[in-house]
Amino acid sequence: DGGITQSPKYLFRKEGQNVTLSCEQNLNHDAMYWYRQDPGQGLRLIYYSQIVNDFQKGDIAEGYSVSREKKESFPLTVTSAQKNPTAFYLCASSMADRAGNTIYFGEGSWLTVV
């Protein structure tokens, strides 16, 4: 089945540690996105990529980094510079930019600082 796979589902980070969340899609979508969701709140865009080897900062990129070396993969690294990383992280993808493209989501990953 086509879809978006995020791993791990639950991840714990120690102070000062970098962690990486994986996102893989087999939908042949050009665009991929990372969102952060805090409990009881909406989604905030961290980074997005419209094509391989290119990505753009979203609204809350500080303390995060990404790469897009393959069309199918868009990993997110939460660096030690992100002071409040505990949240639910959602990866998404869509066809190349045009009106009406549906954005599809993975099942999400929980990151907790311990």
Partner 1 sequence: AQSVTQLDSHVSVSEGTPVLLRCNYSSSYSPSLFWYVQHPNKGLQLLLKYTSAATLVKGINGFEAEFKKSETSFHLTKPSAHMSDAAEYFCVVSDYKTSGTYKYIFGTGTRLKVLA
Candidates 19-27, 43-51, 61-69, 78-86 — which segment interacts with partner 1 by CB under 8 A? 43-51
By CB under 8 A, residue 43 contacts partner 1: yes
Radius of gyration from C-alpha coordinates of the chain: 13
Instruction: Please name the amino acid found at residue 65.
Output: S
Tokens found for residue 90? 């959602």
64-93 positions binding partner 1, by CB under 8 A = 88, 90, 92
The CA distance from 85 to 76, in Å, is 12
Q: What are the residues binding partner 1 (CB under 8 A)?
A: 4, 6, 33, 41-43, 45, 50, 88, 90, 92, 97-108, 110
